[in-house]
Amino acid sequence: MSQTTLGDDELFGEAAEEMRADVEEHLTKARAELPAAADVWETEANNVLGVLNGLRSALDVGDAEDHLRQAKKWYTMGERADAFEDADDLAAAIEELESLIADIDEAHADVSDLTNAVPELRGALQEFETDEDDEE
């Protein structure tokens, strides 16, 4: 019976290592999907709408959310199975990425709102200017 227990313990240890590796792999993939700081900061646009469209594209997190979800799934499974001896680093990395992705998503939404508002504002200003010219 102790041989079976030893085998089970070894298998559990291997499974725990694989779970940790899966979490780390998905965290790495999620990080790789995030926009680069330079892409968010630098632009080559000729006008405000071009800047906003470029920024909106740069703020795309790609598959980062999917990879984060996978990391969280395997982390949760490992935690519930008490498979990790020390997983504070994984929990911190997940929390940090989750927060960063939420910030990027919020900025993306804000930029999308501006991308829609700026042309409308420009049109209203042009119409106002035309009306003023007509009155003169």
pLDDT tens-digit map of 101-123: 999 999 999 999 999 999 999 99
Q: Where are the alpha helices (DSSP H) in 34-87?
A: 37-41, 48-58, 64-80
Task: With CA atoms as reference, report the closest residue to 67 among 40, 94, 87.
Answer: 94
Question: For the chain, what is the domain count?
Answer: 1
d(CA 72, CA 78): 10
- What's the average model confidence in pLDDT over 89-109? 97
Q: Quick count: other Cβ atoms within 10 Å of Cβ 129? A: 10
**Torsional class of 62: left (φ above 0), alpha (ψ -120 to 50), beta (otherwise):** left
Two tokens, residue 95: 């929390």
pTM for the model stands at 0.84
Tens digits of residue pLDDT in 7-23: 788 888 888 899 999 99
Task: With CA atoms as reference, report the closest residue to 103 among 113, 114, 95, 91.
Answer: 95
The whole domain housing 23 covers 2-135
Contact between 59 and 104 under an 8 Å Cβ cutoff? The reply is yes
